[in-house]
């Protein structure tokens, strides 16, 4: 008898990844108290590949409205949301990759509960959110997400931001995945059992849909590189695209696990020639 498959989020993570979408317009339907409790309990299960602490807070406008100095704002981008989740991460090396990995885990868990979310790195009032969660001097608050039930109708601003239905266009395989070096493309037909984890990386969300991840397969190792966009380094006080790399790492590892593909993360960079100037090694997945 075949071994029974274990779905880490109660259903195939591949299906949740494909189903998730950014929600910017929310209904007035409140999140039941028992669902909020379930989400807060799940905070305790969230762990990443690095020893870096992340603190989550589920905030509700109605619960904090008595404090006139705290008004959770999103500059009009999000409509109808009354609940938000903020993540405070320690100021340590690799904290953005850790944040992306763990926060995407949470986003997909919320999706499995039927809740809508939307990654937000710039379009929220950071000072108000920082005050609401009492941010520490050793912490940083790079991102938040609204959370709630999607409205059946989109707001005008959401319609303008996404005028056409359907998912945003993703880069092709031959732009993202390579074999042994940066000059040889990895064909999907040659990716074998790892084709699905790689495809889930390709479908991962990223800032402005830049998809900055590049992966080189070499002798059972998958080297993850960040193709930097210099613009983001000038706009943000933190490296936003490293969050994208954490998201890609989560998609790869968890879909690999559900497919029965064992492996581990390794920080030591490979010795590869002709690395493009703006590309930086992030981490390597070592198949076992």
Kindly state the percentage of the chain with pLDDT values over 90. 72
Are 230 and 278 in contact by the 8 Å Cβ rule? The answer is: yes
Q: What is the pTM of this model?
A: 0.92
Q: How far apart are CA 147 and CA 103, in angstroms?
A: 13
Are 269 and 225 in contact by the 8 Å Cβ rule? The answer is: no
Q: Which residue has 């405070």 as its token pair? A: 88
Write out the H or E segment, with its range, that includes residue 90.
Answer: strand 83-90
Q: In this predicted model, what pLDDT tens digit does every residue of 66-94 receive, in sequence order?
A: 555 566 767 678 899 999 999 999 999 99
Q: Do domains 22-161 and 173-287 have the same CATH topology?
A: yes
Q: How far apart are CA 119 and CA 37, in angstroms?
A: 22
Q: In this predicted model, what pLDDT tens digit does every residue of 111-136 receive, in sequence order?
A: 999 999 999 987 788 888 898 999 99
Instruction: Write out the two tokens for 58.
Output: 């589920």
Residue 162 pLDDT more than 80?
no
Cα 98 to its chain centre, rounded Å, is 10
Write out the H or E segment, with its range, that includes residue 19.
Answer: helix 13-19
Q: In this predicted model, what pLDDT tens digit does every residue of 17-61 receive, in sequence order?
A: 999 999 999 999 999 999 999 999 999 999 999 999 999 999 988
Q: Which CATH number applies to 173-287: 3.50.30.30, 3.40.109.30, 3.90.1170.50, 3.10.20.90?
A: 3.40.109.30
What backbone torsions phi and psi does residue 232 show, to the nearest 5 degrees? Answer: -65, -30
Domain boundary assignment for the chain? 22-161, 173-287
Q: Classify residue 134 by its DSSP letter.
A: T
Which residues, other chains included, contact 19 with Cβ-Cβ below 8 Å and sequence gap of 6+? 111
Q: How far apart are CA 58 and CA 32, in angstroms?
A: 13
CATH 3.40.109.10 fits 22-161, yes or no: yes
Q: In this predicted model, what pLDDT tens digit does every residue of 203-213 receive, in sequence order?
A: 999 998 999 99
């Amino acid at each position: 008898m075949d071994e029974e498959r274990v779905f880490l989020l109660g259903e195939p993570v591949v299906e949740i990844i494909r189903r998730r979408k950014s929600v910017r317009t929310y209904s007035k339907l409140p999140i039941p108290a028992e669902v909020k409790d379930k989400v807060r309990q799940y905070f305790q299960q969230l762990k990443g590949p690095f020893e870096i602490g992340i603190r989550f807070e589920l905030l509700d406008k109605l619960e904090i409205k008595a404090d006139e100095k705290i008004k959770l704002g999103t500059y009009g981008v999000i409509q109808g949301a009354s609940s938000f989740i903020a993540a405070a991460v320690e100021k340590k090396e690799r904290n953005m990759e850790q944040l992306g990995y763990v926060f995407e885990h949470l986003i997909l868990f919320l999706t499995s509960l039927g809740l809508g979310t939307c990654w937000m790195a710039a379009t929220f009032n950071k000072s108000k959110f920082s005050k609401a969660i009492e941010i520490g001097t050793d912490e940083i608050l790079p991102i938040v997400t609204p959370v709630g039930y999607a409205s059946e109708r989109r707001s005008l601003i959401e319609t303008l931001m996404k005028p056409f239905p359907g998912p945003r266009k993703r880069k092709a395989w031959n732009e993202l995945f390579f074999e042994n070096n940066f000059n040889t493309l990895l064909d999907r037909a040659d990716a074998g059992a790892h084709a699905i984890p790689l495809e889930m990386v390709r479908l991962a969300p990223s800032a402005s849909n830049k998809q900055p991840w590049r992966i080189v397969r070499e002798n059972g190792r998958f080297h993850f590189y960040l193709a930097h966009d210099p613009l983001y380094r000038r706009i943000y006080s933190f490296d936003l695209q490293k969050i994208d790399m954490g998201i890609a790492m989560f998609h790869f590892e968890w879909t690999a696990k559900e497919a029965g593909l064992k492996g581990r993360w390794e920080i030591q960079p490979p010795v590869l020639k002709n690395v493009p100037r703006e590309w930086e090694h992030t981490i390597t997945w070592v198949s076992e």
